[in-house]
Amino acid sequence: MRKKLTDFKSLDADIERQFEETQIVAELVKAAVKENAVNAQSQEAYFEKYEALTKRYETRLRNWSVCKTSVLSAVRKIKRWRFTYEL
């Protein structure tokens, strides 16, 4: 039972995956900004692409935050449980 409560491998994997996805999208945003600065292009098309990428980034960032919060919440519960039963 204790092992099941303290096994965060799947949550850690989710956190890592979400973090990596966040970093990938951040690089895509940087590349889009750089491309806009270097190449002449429709600003309307650029803003559409930029807005889509930033929305994607914010979603990934929010998902990463939720995963991290889940782990922290579980750790707090375990600490409370241990404290309660060690008294």
Is there a contact between 68 and 11 (Cβ–Cβ < 8 Å)? no
Span 35-61, pLDDT tens digits: 999 999 899 999 999 999 999 999 999
Alpha-carbon span 53 to 85, nearest angstrom: 48
What's the token pair of residue 26? 């951040």
Span 67-80, pLDDT tens digits: 888 777 777 777 77
In the chain, how many H helices and how many E strands?
A: 3, 0
Q: What is the pTM of this model?
A: 0.67
- Number of residues that this document lists for the chain: 87
